[in-house]
Copies of this chain bind each other. A is one copy, B any other.
Amino acid sequence: MTNISNTKPIYVAAADIHEWARACAQSVGADAGVAQHIATYLLEGDLLGFRTHGLLRLRYNLECLRDGRSRASGEPLVLKDRKAVASWDAQLLPGLYVLPKAIDAACDKAKSCGTGTIVIRRAQHVASLAAYLSLATDRGFMISMFASTPGQRAVAPFGSKQAVFSPNPFAIGVPTQTQPILLDMSLSMTAAGKVRQAIAEERPLPFAGLITPGGEYTNDATTFLADPPSVLASLGGKDLGYKGSGLTLFSELWTMALSNYGRRQGSEDGDANTVWLQVLDPSAFGDQEEFLTESQAQLDAILAATPIDANQPVRVPGSNAIALKKQQLAEGVSYTPAVWRQLEKCAVMCGVDLPEVISKP
């Protein structure tokens, strides 16, 4: 155990923490490929700044592998395949293992058909969608992704105070002439993780993103743990929540209805996800260089827009994440003491010592 401060971040070399996480996964039975993917795509979440879906989730993944909620080896089952699309059953293999494979398959289909679409049922928790986007953008392709959770109900449809939907992430990746555009967002006003974080920090949410059993929109995070609890509101809130509600319905239909695997089948599946992913080959629609010129023009137009606050330049989705990854690869990945304590628990569980802490240059 490293002797660590209660407040200062801990830094560790990316390669070291990757190797450690891989060894942890292998120690609980994951085969080589599964262990490698778990380490790579959880770490990628940390590198890009999606801390709630980074190695903080290693412990959950290890527990699932140990107790059989995740399969430790094997391959997804192809349920159906037609030229440009396929439907897979991940059979509770880690989403971290299955999604990169699915993106690969979708890229191959996009090359021959223009688009490639894979829907996947029963992928054990997929963590952050952002972590996978560059698998497509690095090949010059566009990608869109949805994930839903048949075992969860947390988001109320507009006009209701009862949770029906899961809090579904949506992500896109688009190559440009410079850095890719990477967007990963939830379609609800906020996510359960952010509400729990507010509770832990004893502060209200910055906006009224919850609906109480009385039907009031509130920023009081503690209502989320009350009995009965509040539920997550759809993007758009009190005035325009029908838009966010419609978008969440979009994500539920494109995942659960299309895969024929929804709440009727998967209500006991815990955090397992149903996933939609689609890769597009821009050269099937036009000219690849022309496409990159257009996407770059979009990026440039956003960066050139007059900011509301002169000290806050307008940002392009993904730019902070990409800068943070570059910095952390060079200077070390940073963890809060709270997350580091979770990693220490994994180290004990697996009997694999955490790597050396480094000092920030």
Could you say which residues of chain B place their CB within 8 Å of the CB of A244? 235
Count of chain copies: 2
The interface on chain A, measured as residues whose beta carbon lies within 8 A of the other chain's beta carbons, has a size of 84
Whether A164 and B83, one on each chain, are in contact in the complex, defined by CB atoms closer than 8 angstroms, is no
Fill in one digit per residue for A128-167: 1 if any B CB lies within 8 Å of its CB, else 0. 0000000000000010100000000000111111101000
A291 CB-CB contact with B under 8 Å = yes
A80 CB-CB contact with B under 8 Å = yes
CA distance A172 to B84 in the complex (A): 20
Whether B235 and A240, one on each chain, are in contact in the complex, defined by CB atoms closer than 8 angstroms, is yes
- Other-chain contact of A80, B207, B284, B298, B314 (Cβ < 8 Å): B284
Whether B258 and A297, one on each chain, are in contact in the complex, defined by CB atoms closer than 8 angstroms, is no
Shortest distance from the beta carbon of A50 to any chain B beta carbon, whole Å? 15
Could you say which residues of chain B place their CB within 8 Å of the CB of A293? 264
Query: Which residue of chain B is the closest to A317 with respect to CB atoms?
Result: B246
A339 CB-CB contact with B under 8 Å = no
CA distance A293 to B259 in the complex (A): 12
- Other-chain contact of A207, B240, B256, B295, B314 (Cβ < 8 Å): B240
Whether A185 and B242, one on each chain, are in contact in the complex, defined by CB atoms closer than 8 angstroms, is yes
Q: Is the interface of A mostly helix, strand, loop or mixed?
A: mixed
Segment touching B, from A62-70, A301-309, A330-338: A301-309
Could you say which residues of chain B place their CB within 8 Å of the CB of A164? 301-302, 305
Whether B260 and A286, one on each chain, are in contact in the complex, defined by CB atoms closer than 8 angstroms, is yes
Query: Which residue of chain B is the closest to A244 with respect to CB atoms?
Result: B235
Segment touching B, from A7-15, A36-44, A247-255: A247-255
Query: Which residue of chain B is the closest to A184 with respect to CB atoms?
Result: B246
